[in-house]
Chain A
Amino acid sequence: MSAILAVLEQRDGKLRGVSFEALAAARLLADPSGTVDAVLIGPGGISTDGLAAHGADRVFVIADDRLRLYQASAYAEAVAERAKAGAYSAVVLAATAQGRDLGPRIAARLGVPLLADVTALALDQGVVATRPVYSGKALSRTRVTAPSCVVSVRPNVFAAVASAKAGTVTPVPAPADPGRAKTTQVKAPERTALDVAEAAIVVAGGRGLKEPANFKLLEDLAAAFGNAAVGASRAVVDAGWRSHADQVGQTGKTVSPSLYFAIGISGAVQHLAGMRTAKVIVAINRDKDAPIFKVADYGIVGDLFEIVPRLTEEIKKLRGA
């Protein structure tokens, strides 16, 4: 019989998919008899559609146009206030750029432990969390001994679940003063492409692509899938072929898509750190001894310049059918 607080995330007033994942993880910790409350911070008029269907018993909405962008200190204060009021046994958020910033602030305000970037959760004499450490080369399993904790869950790991609940909505007044650090804008990238950390399918390329223009091959493949993003190894990001926003790996993003293509990527440990929790990994490489084949579920040995266009054709056919 515990109560859990899920922190939802919005962008431009729309709920992000990870919000439902946070709810799913919260539901897991609440066990069937417990309650899951949600807190949603965003601009005036923000919609709470879908939250009841995804398991929220109560939704606390803090809506103010000054909170349209992520304002760290106002958001942290709002969540911490709600957490204190509800005496929750856990506060759950998604380990996105926002969640990774917000989680530790809430934990420090509440004086409770933080379990960051968690990939598995269980209830066993308290919250037991599994999280990748040492660049994903080890997994740490910890049990919370404090009465409460803050948990951030790795995106794409906890699947959203349908679970109809009351979903009563309570507006809460906003602590909208951004304080001494104010987000003034979010500079949009030139492209409006899907982010690698959020995409269900990632098509990643490395030095094997030979030159930047050849990434067109991967963009075509991603477009054929429709729900794919193009990722990159550090080698090609450092060479200036791709933006750092696309980099997968230890010094780039951590991704857990349902399908990951490593194309012309050798599979260095630092690259693996960012993608080894992908559900299915496909490697295309002309070197049959490339380390990437050790983690790949499926591999094709050969010249990517011949293989990728064929793959794109086949995917187009499938999707068209």
Chain B
Amino acid sequence: MKIAVCVKRVPDTETRIKIGVDGKSIDEAGVKFILNPYDEFAVEEALRLKEKAGNGEVVVYALGSDASQETIRTTLAMGADRGVLLKTDTPSADPLPAARALAAELKSGAYDLILFGKFAIDDYHQAVGPMVAELLDLPCVTAIGHLEVNGGSAVAEREVEGGIEVVELSLPAVLSADKGLNEPRYPALKGIMAAKKKPLEVKAVTLDAGGVTLLELALPPARKEGRIVGEGPDAVTALIQALRSEAKAI
């Protein structure tokens, strides 16, 4: 079983976001970066599939600056076999250029599966996985919460509004992982030591310009100052009053 996993380095969810002086990026001072949480599910699934198959390789790809090497090392410590950094310092506000660069690299890999996270918690596109699938003309199921692989075919389940879609597919395929797919392992000390010696190849890539220009990154407008209408059950009357006449919400 040969599996590729695409991972992204993102700011920790707890991070307080400060906008940089250019008004187009975040101020990275003091920001802790982590492996995108959804990509953790993808890495874990890849490792389990390889373990179950008893053979194979898990190759991790990240597109980004040199700092993404650390993110790749985290996955190597979890158990991935080797990593590839597609190095670029110019991110794009359009997900398609990143998808094109990853697809070009993954194309010749002869992977049975290419795994992604459901979305990156920084840009929220939820796009790079299915875009890569389209570019490589591979079947694809996104945001899966359950997966069973049997030889050359698989059954995946994804949560939709009001139900769970069951999708049957053939390999090779592209999948993106939702929360609930598995419980990711923590890298053990042994894994962390071993990761240092695993191969990590760095290749420079140039992204095409894409079709959007970032005008501005801003903090969301503060919600208008709210108020405590009262304490205890007697405040319910005041709440109803406010919701009816002021907010016109009921």
Contacts and interface: CB of A to CB of B under 8 A. Distances in A.
A108 B135 contact: yes
A223 interface: no
B96 interface: yes
Contacts of B140: 72, 105, 181
Contact of A181 (B11, B139, B239): B139
B236 A108 contact: no
B34 to A, nearest CB: 13
Given A73-B139, A141-B215, A300 B231 contact: yes
Interface residues of A, number: 91
A187 to B, nearest CB: 4
Contacts of A288: 228
B204 interface: no
Interface string B168-205: 11100100000110000000000000000000000000
Interface in B129-157: 129-131, 133-135, 138-143, 145, 157
B140 to A, nearest CB: 6
Interface in A3-62: 11
Contacts of B239: 282, 298, 300, 311
A289 to B, nearest CB: 11
Interface in A278-321: 279-282, 288, 293-303, 306-307, 310-311, 314-315, 318
A295 B161 contact: no
A184 B154 CA distance: 12
A314 B250 CA distance: 12
Interface residues of B, number: 84
A301 B164 CA distance: 38
A143 B169 contact: no
B126 A189 contact: no
Given A107-B127, A135-B121, A137-B17, A183 B167 contact: yes
B109 interface: no
A142 B215 contact: yes
A150 B214 CA distance: 16
A8 B159 CA distance: 20
A171 interface: no
A136 B221 CA distance: 11
A39 to B, nearest CB: 18
A128 interface: yes
A104 B127 contact: yes
B223 interface: yes
Nearest to B228: A299
Interface in A251-300: 251-252, 258-259, 269-270, 273, 276, 279-282, 288, 293-300
A314 B163 contact: no
Interface in B198-250: 210-220, 223-224, 226-233, 235-237, 239-240, 242-244, 247, 249-250
Contacts of B235: 300-302, 307
B21 interface: no
Given A100-B142, A139-B217, A301-B228, A146 B211 contact: yes
A270 B26 CA distance: 18
Interface in A83-139: 96-98, 100-101, 103-105, 107-109, 111-117, 128, 131-139
B17 A138 contact: yes
A131 B212 contact: no
Nearest to A137: B17
B30 interface: no
A222 interface: no
B212 A113 contact: yes
A302 B238 CA distance: 14
A44 B23 CA distance: 50
23 contacts: A73-B139, A96-B160, A105-B140, A116-B127, A138-B218, A141-B215, A142-B212, A145-B213, A182-B168, A183-B165, A186-B166, A269-B13, A273-B13, A295-B226, A297-B226, A297-B247, A300-B236, A301-B235, A302-B233, A303-B232, A310-B233, A314-B237, A315-B250
Given A113-B211, A298-B247, 20 more contacts: A98-B160, A104-B128, A113-B94, A137-B16, A138-B17, A140-B216, A142-B215, A143-B215, A145-B213, A184-B167, A186-B165, A187-B166, A189-B162, A280-B249, A295-B223, A297-B223, A298-B242, A303-B232, A307-B232, A307-B233
4 cross-chain pairs, A with B, having the tightest CB-CB distances, nearest first? A146-B211, A113-B211, A108-B134, A104-B127
